[in-house]
Structure formats: structure tokens, C-alpha cells
């Protein structure tokens, strides 16, 4: 029986993770490993799935369960605890152990892109991935504000955004699913006309390669980056965790 790994999420047929690991296993001669999707409608379905797959060694967690997974864990890595979200779980004899490799993937893919003007950032969305982004920005000394359709105290609504704010906030990170395949025409409702060459737009989405959010930024001369490298970096970090003795 093969060592099994999985992606846990909802409506995840679009995900590149399964193909990424399938290619990795073939390339590295890991014939004893397999990666599958656990596409579930409720996190409560997960324990039964785990019990039904005794050769499951670990799994990734994606939208919308990066926070919902927390009550199912027996322990959590300090970084993931500080972030408040988990995207990687290792199965041990003592139970499920949660980690966050999103932060590592985001940090290592972002740092080479930063310029001196990128001192203030807008984080679009308030889900689990956005918490990892905020953790990284704080560690890099970049001030940030969340932008939400239903903002809490200290957060911006999309209707708050204007030319004056965008002049200050030159780093914009999309942590929402807006623009993900197949709904590629969607994008966060920003005043894109105020973007300039000073801006860096980073989209955690990697399918399609260039979302409408990134296309609109590029049209104004902004530097852009999608989530492909972040995906690969976090996946390799997850693999390292799963393979630890």
C-alpha cells in the first residue's frame, strides 16, 4: 500500500497540488507515494476520511478550512499558532499536528520583489491565508491594513479605497478567491486607475497565471506576481515536515 498524502478543501478540482506532487513523486522515483484530493463540504467529514485511509501520512489544508481544522488538532506548531491558521497537517501516533508553510512560501517569494517604497500594504480578504500574509509582513516591518467586504474595527472597506490611500499603500496582496478559475473575470473592486509603477500587486491565486487583478495592475505599470512560486515553496516545506522521522 502506498504512502498517501492529500489536499483537504472544498471545490478543489482546480488545484495544482495533486499534479505538482504527482510530478514530484515521478521525478524523484517515489513510487510508494500518492497524493489525492479530499474534497469535502464540511470539516466534520474529515475524521472519517482519515480513519478510512490508514496509510495517510499527512495533508495540506486549503479554502475554507485553514481555521476550521484547528479543533481537530492534537498540537500545533508555534508559527501556525501565532498565525491562527494551518495549511499543513502531519499524522502522528499522538494525533494531528498542525503547521503553517504558507508563511514561508509567501515570505521567500515576496522578499526579492520588495522595493524601498513598499512600506505599507493592503491585504485583500480576511481568511486563513491572509493571516499568514499578515504574519510575514509584520516580521518584515511592513505596516498593513486588511480590506474586507464586511470590515471590522481597524479594517478598510473596499469603498474606503481612493487615490490618496493607494499612494501610501503601494503593496497590495490579494488573499481572496476572486479571479480563480473558472471565474477568471472576477477581481477585487479596487480603484485600479490610481495604480502606478510604484505599486507591487501580489495575487495568491496561481490559476490562471495572470488574474484580472494582475492584468489591471500591469496595465498601469505596476509590478505583479502570482502565487505559483509560493505554492511550490510551501509544498516543499510541507513535504519536509511529512518526511521528518
> Which are the catalytic amino acids?
66
Q: Answer for the pair 187, 216: CB distance below 8 angstroms, yes or no.
A: yes
Residue whose cell numbers read 478510512: 52
Residue entry with cell 490618496: 164
Q: What DSSP designation does 1 have?
A: -
Question: Cell 471590522, residue?
Answer: 152
Q: Which of 95, 10, 232, 26 is nearest to 2 (CA)?
A: 26
Phi, psi values for residue 237, rounded to 5°: -65, -40
Q: Helices 102-110 and 128-139: crossing angle, nearest 10°? A: 50
**Residue closest to 98 by CA, chosen among 244, 245, 233, 241:** 241
Cite the beta strand spans of the chain per DSSP E: 3-9, 33-39, 56-61, 75-76, 88-92, 95-99, 120-124, 143-148, 156-157, 171-174, 200-203, 223-225
Which residues, listed in sequence order, are joined to residue 123 by a DSSP beta bridge?
Answer: 146, 173
Q: Which residue has the cell 500574509?
A: 133
Q: What is the dihedral of CA 174, 180, 183, 184, to 10 degrees?
A: 80
Amino acid at each position: 500500500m502506498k504512502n498517501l498524502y492529500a489536499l483537504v478543501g472544498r471545490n478543489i478540482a482546480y488545484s495544482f497540488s495533486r499534479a505538482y506532487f504527482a510530478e514530484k513523486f515521478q521525478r524523484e522515483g517515489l513510487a510508494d507515494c500518492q497524493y489525492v484530493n479530499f474534497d469535502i463540504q464540511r470539516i466534520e467529514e474529515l475524521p472519517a476520511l482519515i480513519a478510512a485511509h490508514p496509510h495517510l501520512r499527512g495533508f495540506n489544508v486549503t479554502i475554507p478550512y485553514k481555521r476550521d481544522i484547528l479543533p481537530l488538532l492534537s498540537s500545533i506548531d508555534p508559527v501556525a499558532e501565532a498565525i491562527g491558521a494551518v495549511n499543513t497537517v502531519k499524522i502522528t501516533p499522538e494525533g494531528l499536528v498542525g503547521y503553517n508553510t504558507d508563511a514561508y512560501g509567501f515570505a521567500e517569494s515576496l522578499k526579492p520583489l520588495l522595493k524601498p517604497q513598499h512600506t505599507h500594504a493592503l491585504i485583500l480578504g480576511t481568511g486563513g491565508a491572509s493571516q499568514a500574509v499578515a504574519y510575514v509582513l509584520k516580521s518584515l516591518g511592513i505596516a498593513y491594513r486588511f480590506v474586507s467586504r464586511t470590515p471590522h474595527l481597524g479594517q478598510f472597506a473596499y469603498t474606503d479605497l481612493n487615490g490618496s490611500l493607494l499612494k501610501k499603500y503601494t503593496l497590495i496582496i490579494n488573499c481572496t478567491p476572486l479571479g480563480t478559475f473558472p471565474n477568471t473575470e472576477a477581481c477585487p473592486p479596487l480603484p485600479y486607475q490610481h495604480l502606478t509603477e510604484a505599486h507591487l500587486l501580489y495575487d495568491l491565486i496561481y490559476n490562471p497565471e495572470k488574474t484580472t487583478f494582475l492584468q489591471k495592475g500591469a496595465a498601469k505599470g505596476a509590478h505583479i506576481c502570482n502565487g505559483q512560486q509560493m505554492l511550490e515553496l510551501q509544498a516543499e516545506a510541507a513535504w519536509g515536515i511529512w518526511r521528518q522521522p
